[in-house]
Amino acid sequence: MTLTRGTVVIDREACKGCDLCIDACPPRVLEMTTTTVNALGHRFPLLVAPGCTGCKACSQICPDFCFQVYKYDTPREIEDPR
Protein backbone atom coordinates (compact mmCIF):
# COMPACT_ATOMS: atom_id res chain seq x y z
CA MET A 1 0.00 0.00 0.00
CA THR A 2 1.21 3.47 -0.86
CA LEU A 3 0.37 6.63 1.02
CA THR A 4 -1.39 8.94 -1.42
CA ARG A 5 -2.09 12.55 -0.60
CA GLY A 6 -3.59 13.77 -3.83
CA THR A 7 -4.49 13.13 -7.42
CA VAL A 8 -4.43 14.86 -10.78
CA VAL A 9 -6.80 15.33 -13.68
CA ILE A 10 -4.93 15.59 -16.99
CA ASP A 11 -6.26 17.43 -20.04
CA ARG A 12 -4.78 15.01 -22.54
CA GLU A 13 -6.04 16.94 -25.56
CA ALA A 14 -4.10 20.06 -24.48
CA CYS A 15 -0.83 18.13 -24.13
CA LYS A 16 2.02 18.79 -26.58
CA GLY A 17 3.98 15.70 -25.51
CA CYS A 18 7.02 17.56 -24.17
CA ASP A 19 7.69 15.03 -21.35
CA LEU A 20 8.60 17.76 -18.82
CA CYS A 21 6.06 16.57 -16.26
CA ILE A 22 7.49 13.06 -16.12
CA ASP A 23 10.83 14.00 -14.53
CA ALA A 24 9.28 16.86 -12.55
CA CYS A 25 7.12 14.48 -10.50
CA PRO A 26 9.07 13.56 -7.33
CA PRO A 27 7.33 10.22 -6.65
CA ARG A 28 7.41 9.43 -10.40
CA VAL A 29 3.77 8.43 -10.67
CA LEU A 30 3.36 9.81 -14.21
CA GLU A 31 4.24 7.97 -17.41
CA MET A 32 3.84 8.98 -21.04
CA THR A 33 1.69 6.83 -23.26
CA THR A 34 3.76 4.79 -25.68
CA THR A 35 1.34 4.14 -28.51
CA THR A 36 -1.77 6.18 -27.72
CA VAL A 37 -1.84 9.78 -28.94
CA ASN A 38 -4.29 12.65 -28.63
CA ALA A 39 -6.12 14.35 -31.50
CA LEU A 40 -3.04 16.49 -32.21
CA GLY A 41 -0.89 13.37 -32.51
CA HIS A 42 1.01 13.82 -29.24
CA ARG A 43 1.67 11.22 -26.57
CA PHE A 44 0.41 12.36 -23.18
CA PRO A 45 0.98 11.49 -19.50
CA LEU A 46 -1.13 9.16 -17.43
CA LEU A 47 -1.25 8.82 -13.65
CA VAL A 48 -0.06 5.23 -13.41
CA ALA A 49 0.39 4.59 -9.70
CA PRO A 50 -0.68 5.72 -6.25
CA GLY A 51 1.67 8.01 -4.36
CA CYS A 52 0.78 11.45 -5.71
CA THR A 53 1.58 13.98 -3.00
CA GLY A 54 -0.43 16.82 -4.50
CA CYS A 55 2.79 18.85 -4.74
CA LYS A 56 1.74 20.59 -8.00
CA ALA A 57 5.20 20.24 -9.56
CA CYS A 58 3.56 18.84 -12.70
CA SER A 59 1.12 21.72 -13.03
CA GLN A 60 3.89 24.26 -12.39
CA ILE A 61 6.20 22.91 -15.08
CA CYS A 62 3.60 22.13 -17.75
CA PRO A 63 3.69 24.84 -20.45
CA ASP A 64 0.19 23.95 -21.58
CA PHE A 65 -1.71 23.97 -18.26
CA CYS A 66 -2.75 20.34 -18.59
CA PHE A 67 -2.93 19.48 -14.89
CA GLN A 68 -5.52 20.06 -12.22
CA VAL A 69 -4.16 18.94 -8.86
CA TYR A 70 -6.36 17.90 -5.95
CA LYS A 71 -5.12 17.29 -2.44
CA TYR A 72 -7.07 14.87 -0.27
CA ASP A 73 -8.23 16.13 3.10
CA THR A 74 -7.07 12.83 4.56
CA PRO A 75 -4.18 10.80 3.03
CA ARG A 76 -5.22 7.41 1.68
CA GLU A 77 -3.42 4.07 1.55
CA ILE A 78 -3.90 2.79 -1.99
CA GLU A 79 -2.69 -0.50 -3.41
CA ASP A 80 -0.07 -0.15 -6.17
CA PRO A 81 -1.23 -2.18 -9.17
CA ARG A 82 2.26 -2.26 -10.73
Contacts to ligand SF4 by CB under 6 A: 6, 8, 15-21, 24-27, 29-30, 44-45, 52-58, 61-64, 66, 69
Chain center to CA of 39:
19
Number of Cβ within a 10 Å radius of residue 24:
17
Smallest distance, ligand SF4 to C-beta of residue 19, A? 5
Planar angle of CA 62, 75, 28, nearest 5 degrees: 35
Output phi, psi for 5, to 5 deg. Answer: -105, -10
Q: Which is nearer to ligand SF4, 20 or 37 (CB)?
A: 20
Smallest distance, ligand SF4 to C-beta of residue 77, A? 16
| Backbone Cα Rg of the chain | 12
Smallest distance, ligand SF4 to C-beta of residue 64, A? 4
Q: Which is nearer to ligand SF4, 6 or 37 (CB)?
A: 6
